[in-house]
Every structure is written in C-alpha cells, then in structure tokens.
Amino acid sequence: MGEGIKLPVLNGLGRTNRIDNWLNQPIAMGVALTAAMLYTAWRLFLYPDSIYYELEGSKVMSPIFSPNVLEWELFGLKDWNHPSWVNAAILVLWIPFGFRGTCYYMRRVYYRTFFASPTACWVDEPEINKKIGYKGEKRIFILNNLHRYFLYA
C-alpha cells in the first residue's frame, strides 16, 4: 500500500483553504428548514379550523391539511368527538415529515446546518465537536433509524 499525502487543515470553526462559497448551502438550508417548521407550526396551532377556503364556488384546501381525514368514514373519524386542538394535519403530517426528516439526505442537511458536524468537506468543525467526538446515534438521534418504518406508514 502506498502512503497518502496528508494535506494541511486549518484549525477552528469554519477555517479552510477552500475558495468556493461553501457556507451558502448550509445557510440556505437552515433558513428554509426553519421557515418551513415555523410556517407549519403557525398553520397547525394558530389557524387549526381554517382547513379550506371557499373560492368562486369551489373549495381550495391548504396543502398542510390535505387530505382531510376527519371527514372520512373509513375509520369512523367522521363521528369521532375529537378535542378541538386535533385537526387533519396532526393526524397525517407526522408520516411524511418523519419519513423526510429521517432520510439520509435530510440528516446530512440538518447535521451540517444546525450542528456543524461536519460543516462541509475540508472545513474544520467546532472545538466542542472535536472534544465530544462521534459516539454514534444515541439518545434522541436513535429515532433517525425509524426511516424505513415511516415508508410503510
């Protein structure tokens, strides 16, 4: 086996010899993910009753509430006397959000964006990440392994 060339790496959060705009992608994804989470929370909890809008004689349903499973007779949900805070989105959205949130691409995005681990290829990570080190997916991050089960839900 030949020996590889060991390139110098600058130490410190975000320090690198890279000349491209490597920080653009984590910032853009962080803003987009945060905006999506805030909009979803705002839509679910501040406007839970306005599932659809009447527009020129037709119903336009919000994508957050589609489909409205509370009107289905399939599981007896139409007759269910549910609490006022329960709406169609709370019953449905956990499946696609769970599937997308645990997929490998999205895991890479939020690890890089919110935890800076790793920030990007050939970019140094925070000192605390070096001190802690990688200990596998434990505690709450073990839920990332539920990805395959969300596919079947």
Identify the CA nearest to 120 among candidates 1, 29, 44: 29
The confidence score (pLDDT) of residue 126 equals 60
The confidence score (pLDDT) of residue 65 equals 67
The confidence score (pLDDT) of residue 6 equals 59
**Average confidence (pLDDT) over 118-141:** 62
Domain ranges of the chain: 26-152
Q: What pTM does this model have? A: 0.54
The confidence score (pLDDT) of residue 120 equals 61
- How does pLDDT run across 13-69, given as a tens digit for each residue? 556 666 667 777 778 888 888 888 888 888 777 776 666 667 777 777 676 766 667
- How does pLDDT run across 82-129, given as a tens digit for each residue? 777 777 777 777 777 777 777 777 777 777 777 666 666 666 666 666
